[in-house]
Amino acid sequence: MNKRSEFQNPKPKIRTVFFCMACVIIACSSPIAAADNGTSDKLTVYVVNYPLKYFAERIAGDHARVVFPAPSEGDPAYWMPDAVTIAAYQKADLILRNGANYAKWVSKVSLPRSKMVDTSAKFKDRLITAEEVVTHSHGAAGAHAHESLAFTTWLDFDLAAKQAGVVMAALSRKKPAAKDFFKKNYTALENDLLAIDDEMKRIAAKNLLSPLVASHPVYDYLSRRYGLNMKSVHWEPDEFPSAAQWSELRAMLKKHPAKWMIWEQEPMKASAARLKAMGVDSLVFDPCGNIPDQGDFLSVMRRNGKNLKPAFQQ
């Protein structure tokens, strides 16, 4: 009898089924909708070095997901991404390049030109041709060099601000609705960069003629902007220099009596000690091409400024 009445009155069951279905639909649709909003609104920006990542993140805020896929070890300028990473770059909304031949892998892969922005294109005339490059020739093409432009443009903080300006313009083109937000953030970043620029000028102005040696030729823009009297060798901080490299330095010091050597990272204790014995102190000025272990671009550059101060004491 009970069974019969159940079949005769199926409404309670149908209601339960509808209620369950509604719950499932609501439960499934809500997070998807939220995720959709979250992803579709945000721009995906891929960059080739850390300074551009920092600039893009500061300017875009929550409006963009900035990706810098290079491994944390090593110099991103000499990194070569695999096919999967290249495919990710291809799918980005915006690809920020440093320009000045930085990240040579860009010239060896296929990326959509419509998405690429060369942040140093506007000051091409201010790019520095690197010294001490051995050219080579073969066939009818004549002499040519593989590396000719210095690429650590962001160490001239005036140029860094210009690069940040290009980042702002590119983001605004991609997302015009947030133009004012980008502009506001850019102005704050520009002020920070120009404050470091002023500080660097003040530090260097104390003793402009003070000769310096760079362990690597990556400080061309820093040197030019702040009028540093700097020459470079090709030393690695984690390798003890060879006898030839020491004699090269000795020869250099005879004509260029530097008291300080600038390193990209903390040098080996043995290298620093031997330099000290030669009357050359060591200081670190991190170009910050890759993500720093501590702090961010600005804090690293402020620390660099502090590290540089003793080299310019009278």
Partner 1 sequence: MIDSLYIAWQYIRSNKIRTATLIACITLISFLPVSLQLLLGESEQQLMSRAVSTPLVIGAKGSSLDLVMNSLYFSDEIPELISMEASDRVMESDLALPIPVYARFHARGNSIVGTTLDYFDFRGLKVTEGRNLAMLGDCVLGAKVAENLGLKPGDSLLSSPETLFDLAGVYPLKMKVVGVLQKSHTSDDLAVFVDIKTTWVIQGLGHGHQDVTNLTDPTLILKRSQSNVAATAKLYHHTEITKKNIDSFHFHGNTSIYPITAVIVAPYDDKSGTILRGRYLSKDETLQIIKPEEVIDGLLQNIFRIKNVLDAVIAVVALATILAVILVFALSLRLRQREIQTIFKLGCSRLTIARLVGAEIFIIVLSSGLLCGVMILVVNQISHDLVRMLFIR
The contact set with partner 1 (CB under 8 A) reads: 80, 83, 86-87, 90, 107-114, 134-139, 141-144, 146
Between 95 and 261, CB nearer to partner 1: 95
Of 150, 105, 158, 101, the closest CA to residue 129 belongs to 150
Q: Are strands 94-97 and 43-47 parallel, antiparallel or unpaired?
A: parallel
Q: How far is the CB of 78 from partner 1 (least distance, A)?
A: 9
- Nearest approach in angstroms of CB 168 to partner 1 is 15
Exposure on the CB side of residue 285, measured as CA atoms within 13 A: 23
Q: Closest Cα partner for 229 from 204, 254, 249?
A: 204
- Residue whose structure tokens are 């309670």: 12
Residue 249 contacts by C-beta under 8 Å, 6 or more apart in sequence? Answer: 213, 233, 241, 278
Closer to partner 1 by CB, 4 or 113: give it: 113
Count of other CB atoms within 10 angstroms of residue 17? 11
Q: Which is nearer to partner 1, 30 or 135 (CB)?
A: 135
Nearest to partner 1 of 141, 277 (CB atom): 141
- As given in the structure block, the two tokens for residue 158 are 């005036």
Nearer Cβ to partner 1 (124/269): 124
Shorter beta-carbon distance to partner 1: residue 86 or 291: 86
**Minimum gap (Å) between residue 114 Cβ and partner 1:** 5
The least CB distance from residue 94 to partner 1, in Å, is 14
| Size (the chain), residues | 314
- Assigned token pair, 26: 């609501």
User: Is there a contact between 306 and 299 (Cβ–Cβ < 8 Å)?
Assistant: no
Please report how close the Cβ of residue 248 comes to partner 1 at its closest, in angstroms: 14
Q: Report which of 217, 237, 181 is spatially closest to residue 63, judged by C-alpha positions.
A: 181
Helix or strand (DSSP H, E) at 6: helix 2-8
Return the number of the residue (61 or 69) whose C-beta is nearest partner 1. Answer: 69
Token readout for 4 is 């019969």
Q: How far is the CB of 134 from partner 1 (least distance, A)?
A: 5
CB of 246 to partner 1, least distance (A): 21
